[in-house]
Amino acid sequence: MAGYDEAYRRSIRHPEEFWAEAARGIDWDTAPATVLGPDGRWFPDGRLNTCHNALDRHVAAGRGGQPALIHDSPVTGAVRVLSYAELLDEVARTAGMLRDLGVGAGDTVVIYMPMVPEAVVAMLACARLGAVHSVVFGGFAARELAVRVDHARPKVVLSASCGIEPSRVVAYKPLLDAALEQAAHRPERCVILQRPQCPAELTEGRDLDWAATVRDAEPAPCVSVAATDPLYVLYTSGTTGSPKGVLRDNGGHAVALHWSMANVYGAAPGEVFWAASDVGWVVGHSYIVYAPLLAGCTTVLYEGKPVGTPDPGAYWRVVATHGVRTLFTAPTAIRAIKKEDPSGEFAKKWDLSGLRHLFLAGERLDPDTYHWAADLLGVPVVDHWWQTETGWPIAANCVGIETLPARPGSPTKPVPGWDVHVLDAAGNDCPPGVEGSVTVKLPLPPGALPTLYRDEARFRSSYLERHPGHYLTGDGGHFDADGYLYVMGRIDDVINVAGHRLSTGSMEEVLAGHPDVAECAVIGVADEVKGQVPVGFAVLKSGSERDPEELERELVALVRERIGPVAAFRRAVVVARLPKTRSGKILRGTMRDIADDRPYTTPSTIEDPAALPEIAEAMKRA
Ligand SMILES: CCC(=O)SCCNC(=O)CCNC(=O)[C@H](O)C(C)(C)COP(=O)(O)OP(=O)(O)OC[C@H]1O[C@@H](n2cnc3c(N)ncnc32)[C@H](O)[C@@H]1OP(=O)(O)O
């Protein structure tokens, strides 16, 4: 069998041959004659249906009785298992409901739901009809939902009465109502899944009860779509306020995800695969929903946390109880477990002998966390790196091809298909050990974003213009002499809080909107569990006599209200001034160095050097 080097070389030298072979893992209505179009789109003349590939074909092949989805919900005390045949039946009827509501191929549907099976059903039902879903994470506030509704312009919104966090029931319906009041776009219908923990009042003429509406619907068949037709839009934070709508196509996505399950994750049909994330993130889209089902695996949908539901053994219980072979989560989850159970006592209570790999992604995996997890579990811990935009891993130890020796701190090497380069400011490849901007030479492989929804110009300016011929990942890093990649962090103002990508710019917009704030800065500061947390610095308007502590509390509440709890914005500090250059640019980089206790030099362009010790003092208070 070919090893990693050969597979990688072939994928870069002969991408069409490589991906034509991978495309055979998918059922096509019309097999693609062209593999890569001149515009960089994959399989342009192929036709297929993603839902058929995720469900119908497995039922037809005899997998109907195999569990497709295990919903494990410690917050409600429920476990529900849906076989492939049962999931197909629910999806087909939900697609019938959407069709009855006028949803057809190309229409958008916003899904704002907690981690319940109906969220997965909703996504697959859209795919069945060729409709484009846009899932919005439940931890966002009404305003963020409104922005996404206005951009996606859904015909229908699918939602639930509530989500359940360990400490509280989150009523979704009032958030949805507030979002639709703020949005200019009006969806024709909202279909609400009533949960017994907090049933919602339905709005006459607009809202429908999910259970009743699905009950009356006839199952809908799969609609054949072009490989290049959109499957979904997923919004992600950019450096400026408005989120970017990452578009995913049908054909390239199905081919790449199906290929990744065997080759990156080493997962075989019939195995249990658990991505402990949320359907609102790309990990949830790719590795809770689409990839495991495309591959004929059983996927776990977990409505709980790594700690507190009820203890730091929660993940180990799920692994042991459901026979999980591959666990994928974010380093922050492992750090949370390690903090509460440093000697791993809770893991010893469960039989984890079925676990084969732990995959980690979503933020940089620090070597301490890597070693702790590897020692505890005794299985390979695979750090891998990718992004919402890419949809699947850019760099990983491809255990399905060949397991390379791991190097803690590195997600190993580029995955076949990804021609990764580290470039200097002039666009030249950096030598090993020298840090630069991590890029991917075009064409991007199948499954990566072809564009931003309704914003080709922003797609080009955000990703393609900085280094022509390359996709700009926005991360900085370096290769070592053996070709291992090290990704060190963002080169822009995006921060990563508990594996959630957030824009400091949008938090600054919120602070700046407060009537007492003259100017402000938000920076990401290192945090033991969440990796980074945002901290805000605000200067009062001259003449304002507000009590600083009261204002700080107001600013924290404002960010929670406008962006949502997911921002984890818990610290704001009122300062006399911000450190700036003489041209007025806030020295955020120097502020970050001070906050993280890194050595810093006072920039020669600074307006007033005394501003830095003042900020250092304020940070100590924060
Ligand atoms: C590879 C490509 C990618 O990077 S895709 C992104 C990958 N990232 C991930 O998968 C995320 C990984 N992180 C997590 O799953 C969570 O942070 C874990 C580790 C489980 C911890 O969760 P938690 O304790 O809730 O902390 P948090 O920082 O996530 O939450 C902050 C506040 O937000 C709230 N929240 C969270 N989720 C929801 C939700 N669905 N609906 C409503 N609220 C939500 C939390 O309750 C928390 O609120 P509070 O501030 O404590 O009151």
Nearest CA-CA partner of 577 in 544, 612, 553: 612
Q: How far apart are CA 411 and CA 386, in angstroms?
A: 10
pLDDT at 499 exceeding the cut of 80: yes
Q: Which ligand 1 atom is the nearest neighbour of the CA of 284?
A: 10
How many angstroms does the Cα of residue 245 sit away from the middle of ligand 1? 20
How many angstroms does the Cα of residue 333 sit away from the middle of ligand 1? 10
How many angstroms does the Cα of residue 566 sit away from the middle of ligand 1? 6
How many angstroms does the Cα of residue 139 sit away from the middle of ligand 1? 7
- Whether 393 is in the pocket of ligand 1, judged by its Cβ within 6 Å, is no
- Whether 498 is in the pocket of ligand 1, judged by its Cβ within 6 Å, is yes
Ligand 1 atom 37: residue of nearest CA: 139
- What per-residue confidence (pLDDT) applies to 621? 79
Q: In the numeric block, which tokens belong to residue 403?
A: 């397991």
Residue pair 211/117 in contact by the 8 Å Cβ criterion: no
Q: Which ligand 1 atom is the nearest neighbour of the CA of 282?
A: 5
How many angstroms does the Cα of residue 369 sit away from the middle of ligand 1? 19
**Angle between helices 588-595 and 611-621 in degrees, nearest 10:** 50
Q: What is the DSSP string of 359-376?
A: EE-SS---HHHHHHHHHH
Ligand 1 atom 50: residue of nearest CA: 565
Q: How far apart are CA 372 and CA 30, in angstroms?
A: 49
How many angstroms does the Cα of residue 421 sit away from the middle of ligand 1? 32
Q: pLDDT band for position 99 (50/70/90)?
A: very high
pLDDT in tens, 536-572: 999 999 999 999 999 999 999 999 999 999 999 999 9
pLDDT in tens, 376-393: 999 999 999 999 999 999
Q: pLDDT band for position 600 (50/70/90)?
A: confident
Q: Which ligand 1 atom is the nearest neighbour of the CA of 170?
A: 42
Q: In the numeric block, which tokens belong to residue 171?
A: 């009523």
- Whether 237 is in the pocket of ligand 1, judged by its Cβ within 6 Å, is no
Q: Where are the domains of the chain?
A: 4-477, 498-621
Range with the poorest average pLDDT among 465-479, 561-575, 590-604: 590-604
- Whether 277 is in the pocket of ligand 1, judged by its Cβ within 6 Å, is yes
pLDDT in tens, 208-230: 999 999 999 999 999 999 999 99
Cβ density class 29-46: b for 16+ within 10 Å, e for less: eeebeebbeeeebbbbeb
Ligand 1 atom 43: residue of nearest CA: 139
How many angstroms does the Cα of residue 165 sit away from the middle of ligand 1? 10
Q: How far apart are CA 272 and CA 276, in angstroms?
A: 13
Tell me which of 257, 289, 335, 566 to substitute to probe ligand 1's pocket, judged by most ligand atoms within 8 Å of the beta carbon.
566
Which residues sit opposite 207 in a β-bridge? 190
pLDDT at 239 exceeding the cut of 90: no
Helix (H) or strand (E) holding 230: strand 230-236
- Whether 357 is in the pocket of ligand 1, judged by its Cβ within 6 Å, is no
- Whether 332 is in the pocket of ligand 1, judged by its Cβ within 6 Å, is yes
The ipTM of this complex is 0.97
- Whether 282 is in the pocket of ligand 1, judged by its Cβ within 6 Å, is yes
Helix (H) or strand (E) holding 321: helix 314-322
- What per-residue confidence (pLDDT) applies to 489? 87
- What per-residue confidence (pLDDT) applies to 269? 98
- What per-residue confidence (pLDDT) applies to 1? 59
Tell me which of 111, 165, 560, 561 to substitute to probe ligand 1's pocket, judged by most ligand atoms within 8 Å of the beta carbon.
165
498-621 belongs to which CATH class? alpha beta
Ligand 1 atom 23: residue of nearest CA: 305
Q: How far apart are CA 394 and CA 392, in angstroms?
A: 7
- What per-residue confidence (pLDDT) applies to 493? 84
- What per-residue confidence (pLDDT) applies to 496? 94
Alpha helices for 380-537 (secondary structure H): 456-459, 504-512
- Whether 304 is in the pocket of ligand 1, judged by its Cβ within 6 Å, is no
pLDDT at 268 exceeding the cut of 90: yes
Q: In the numeric block, which tokens belong to residue 58?
A: 């497995």
pLDDT at 105 exceeding the cut of 70: yes
Ligand 1 atom 11: residue of nearest CA: 499
pLDDT at 241 exceeding the cut of 70: no
Q: Which ligand 1 atom is the nearest neighbour of the CA of 163?
A: 41
pLDDT in tens, 445-456: 999 999 999 999
CATH topology agreement for domains 4-477 and 498-621? no
pLDDT at 198 exceeding the cut of 90: yes
Q: Which ligand 1 atom is the nearest neighbour of the CA of 393?
A: 1
- Whether 568 is in the pocket of ligand 1, judged by its Cβ within 6 Å, is yes
The average pLDDT across 319-342 equals: 98
How many angstroms does the Cα of residue 86 sit away from the middle of ligand 1? 30
Cα angle value 91/92/94 (rounded, 5°): 65
How many angstroms does the Cα of residue 443 sit away from the middle of ligand 1? 33
Ligand 1 atom 35: residue of nearest CA: 139
Q: How far apart are CA 579 and CA 260, in angstroms?
A: 47
Ligand 1 atom 12: residue of nearest CA: 499
Architecture of the domain delimited by 4-477: 3-Layer(aba) Sandwich (3.40)
Cβ density class 540-579: b for 16+ within 10 Å, e for less: beeeeebebeebbeebbebbbebbbbbbbbebbbbbeebb
- What per-residue confidence (pLDDT) applies to 622? 76
- Whether 170 is in the pocket of ligand 1, judged by its Cβ within 6 Å, is yes
First-residue to last-residue Cα distance in the chain:
56
pLDDT at 581 exceeding the cut of 90: yes
